[in-house]
Amino acid sequence: METIRRALSKLCRMTETHPFRAVLALWLVLAIVITVGDAVTGKVRRDFASYSLAAAKTMFQGGNPYSRDEAQTSYKYFPLNATLLWPFTKMPLPLAQGIWTATNATLLGICLWVHRRVWARELRVPWWVWAIALAVGLRFFVKNLRLGQWNTSVYCLSFLGLSAIVFGKERLGAFLSSLAAGLKYLPGFFALYLVLRGRWRAAALMVAGFCFWVLVFPTLVHGPGRHWELLQNYWGRASKQYQGMVSGDYTSSLSLRSTVMRMTSEVKPRFPDPDTYDFTIVVLPRETARQLSEFVAYVTLASAMFTTLLVSRRLAAAQNFEPPSDNPRSSGIFQNLTELLLVGLWYTTLLMISPESRMPHFLSLFTPAFALSVALANSAIVGKAKYVVSVLLGVATLSLLLGSEIWEHLRYHLVLKGLGCYAWAQLALWAACILAVLQLTKSGQERSS
């Protein structure tokens, strides 16, 4: 035990004095451990090995990664994703899986560190803040790392990019955020968020970065002709899939949008599980239910945009933003918390409006859960709003916990999934973020006036 204690103490000192070395050492240890473990057990991280890596191998062998017959998979991303995996195509599978998983785990660790040490560096973060935030996000972290999916990279890159932009590193932030948007298009909505926040230069850099990652970088690797061929194949695959996702026959997503469709029509998930329970509140014509679900998605996005604009206006008007009187900390420390609540609101909004929100995508809910918990811990929300936000956060956390598969033999999680527990968790966090950020900025504006 004494040896372990000394090793941990040395690691902590290294983290403070040489952070890059500490991160590199951690990544190396993780890569070795995971590589050896996967080699010994014969573990295959399905989504990485049989999906993304298989498509990359097909691409670099001159084939069509979007063809099921050639790639033996239903690859759907930009050519960029498979292009970035070129080094992994030359490695033994356990080594490729080890490096990939260690990289994502390290990114995730940095992302959690930034939540605490950058965004909440001057605020109280008691143990129960981490307990709530991890109760919301931990199992989705584990699921993504276990399967080797892109979601961890996309979430971490987008969050780290937004963090860099907010704290004055616009070029680095745009570089990271645009890469995230190139890997999966939904983070591209953060360019709209930056415009609404008045960060025009950062938004322009992000758009330029997206064009570089999606159009220029793969062209430099494959050549113009080959990349144009891959883009045509991608467009054919993506447009067909998108039409399927927004049709009245598709409700396999766990987003609020798809849940509304499923509960207001007789349309059920495309690949029904015989043990899955589905509940219908009211039976509407299929097209009516589809239009209703789209209306809900548009209202959700419009509400997030309006909230962001209103908060931006309040922050601009309240130059001397002060914390509540019962928490006399230095002036301006809650501005970071306000921004983090807005970022959490947008992560939740993107999940709610997406036609394809699967369980692994829910890892981004860690950010709104962390922001709301920190706000409650520091008395940033007062009065009745504090109790409403607490109830909404509790409902969201409980819904996600009860929907887990810890005791899957009891089948209770299937009932809760059929009842839309994931959609109601999204809605609760979304509403809590709006209420918290509006109450926080309103209080600050009143005190400034």
Q: Please report the DSSP string for 133-187 in residue order.
A: HHHHHHHHHHHHHHHT-SHHHHHHHHHHHHHHHHTT-HHHHHHHHHHHHHHSSGG
* pTM for this predicted structure: 0.90
User: 436, 341 in Cβ contact below 8 A?
Assistant: yes
The model's confidence at residue 67, banded by pLDDT at 50, 70 and 90, is confident
The model's confidence at residue 245, banded by pLDDT at 50, 70 and 90, is low
Helical ranges in 328-365 per DSSP H: 333-353
Q: What is the mean pLDDT of residues 231-259?
A: 76
Question: How many Cβ atoms sit within 10 Å of the Cβ of residue 381?
Answer: 24
The model's confidence at residue 277, banded by pLDDT at 50, 70 and 90, is low
> What are the structural domain ranges in the chain?
255-449
Q: What is the mean pLDDT of residues 364-384?
A: 93
The model's confidence at residue 333, banded by pLDDT at 50, 70 and 90, is low
Beta-carbon contacts of 311 under 8 Å, excluding residues fewer than 6 positions away, are: 338, 342, 437, 438, 441
Query: pLDDT tens, 186-230?
Result: 899 999 999 999 999 999 999 999 999 999 999 999 999 999 999
Query: pLDDT tens, 136-185?
Result: 999 999 999 999 999 999 999 999 999 999 998 999 999 999 999 999 98
Q: Which of 358, 428, 300 is nearest to 76 (CA)?
A: 358
Quick check: helix, strand or coil at residue 30? helix
Q: Greater confidence, 255 or 417?
A: 255
pLDDT at position 328: 37
For residue 409, count CB atoms less than 10 angstroms from its CB and return exposed for 0-12, middle for 13-18, buried for 19 or more. Answer: exposed
d(CA 60, CA 402): 44
Which of 50-54, 346-350, 425-429 shows the lowest per-residue confidence on average (mean pLDDT)?
Answer: 50-54
Q: Greater confidence, 300 or 357?
A: 300
pLDDT at position 217: 95
Question: Angle at the Cα of 361 (from 360 to 364), degrees rounded to 5?
Answer: 115
Whether 95 has a pLDDT exceeding 80, the answer reads yes
pLDDT at position 271: 47
Element containing residue 36 per DSSP (H, E): helix 19-41
Q: What region, left, alpha or beta, does residue 323 occupy, with left being phi > 0 and alpha being psi -120 to 50 degrees?
A: beta
pLDDT at position 237: 79
Look up residue 49 and give its amino acid: A
**Which two structure tokens, joined as six digits, stand for 368?**
């709104």
Which of 61-70, 313-322, 440-449 shows the lowest per-residue confidence on average (mean pLDDT)?
Answer: 440-449
